[in-house]
Amino acid sequence: EAEVAQSPRYKITEKSQAVAFWCDPISGHATLYWYRQILGQGPELLVQFQDESVVDDSQLPKDRFSAERLKGVDSTLKIQPAELGDSAMYLCASTPSGGSNEQFFGPGTRLTVL
Amino acid sequence: AQSVTQLGSHVSVSEGALVLLRCNYSSSVPPYLFWYVQYPNQGLQLLLKYTSAATLVKGINGFEAEFRKSETSVHLTKPSAHMSDAAEYFCAVILRREDDKIIFGKGTRLHILP
């Protein structure tokens, strides 16, 4: 069964360092989402892509976060510099074309900033 | 304004007992409502998807949800809890039919007592 892939699964870094997360959506899924999930909370949308274009990045802290999906397939989310408050689970999800609104989630990347 | 509220951040039930997880939404009936489950250090898995056309929806793993328009609620139930049901459960909505953004509740941690 096709799945959303994410790497790494776990990342520990020190504050002020740069980190990057990778997501490979299910093949053929045009829409890709990055979420941040703070411990004990529900996921919150950071950025949404339609193919290679950003559809919504209104909740992305653009002073330190960036996201790209250059070829409209896999995507990278970067944080530079990382802050203590960035410790969270970063989830990637994708939806197929054709109007389906079911989002398929990857396993996530657990980030710990020391 | 909060669109979806989950009642109880932690719920404990005995193995074999009824599971009932509560979710209230804002006064407008959302076109789509979802229940997701998240096991530790994993992504979210769709349990069931609810559209306003139905009143009862059956999901995976024996879960089902009943739509109660008069109470603005959609509660998740399972007749008999298993130890493997211990996880975090999220209620989520899409507010407008033409929208694709999912808004998540804060989650309910389900504990199964032996």
In a structure prediction context, what are the per-residue pLDDT tens digits for chain A, which is 114 residues long? Answer: 689 999 999 999 999 999 999 999 999 999 999 999 998 899 999 999 999 999 999 999 999 999 999 888 999 999 999 999 999 999 999 998 776 788 999 999 999 999
The A-side interface with B (CB below 8 A) comprises 4, 6, 9, 31, 40-45, 48, 56, 89, 91, 93, 95, 101-108, 110
Q: Do A56 and B101 touch (CB under 8 A)?
A: yes
User: How confident is residue B72, by pLDDT bands cut at 50, 70 and 90?
Assistant: confident
The secondary structure element, H or E, covering residue A100 is none
Strands (E), chain A: 5-7, 10-13, 19-24, 31-37, 44-50, 53-56, 65-68, 75-79, 88-95, 104-105, 109-113
pLDDT grade for B10, boundaries at 50, 70 and 90: very high
The pLDDT assigned to B2 comes to 56
CA dist B40 and A10 (Å) reads 13
Of B41, B102, B104, the CB nearest to A110: B41
| Residue A25 DSSP one-character state | P
**H helices of A1-114, where?**
none
Contacts of B42 in chain A (CB under 8 A): 107-108
Q: Which of B43, B46, B106 sits opposite A41 (nearest CB)?
A: B106
A102 is written with which tokens? 């079911």
On chain A, the residues whose CB falls within 8 A of the CB of B94 are 101
> Which of B9, B41, B44, B91 is most worth mutating to test chain A (most A CB atoms within 10 A of its CB)?
B44
Pick the closest to residue B37 from B18, B58, B60, B17 (CA basis). B60
What CA–CA distance (Å, rounded) separates A37 from B41?
11
State the nearest Cα–Cα gap between B52 and chain A, in angstroms.
14
Cα B32 from Cα A82, distance rounded (Å): 36
**Which residue in the block uniquely carries the two structure tokens 């919150």?**
A44
Residues B73, B27: Cα–Cα separation, whole Å? 10
**How is residue B26 written in tokens?**
């804002």
The letter for the amino acid at B13 is V
Check CB contact under 8 Å for A108 and B92: no
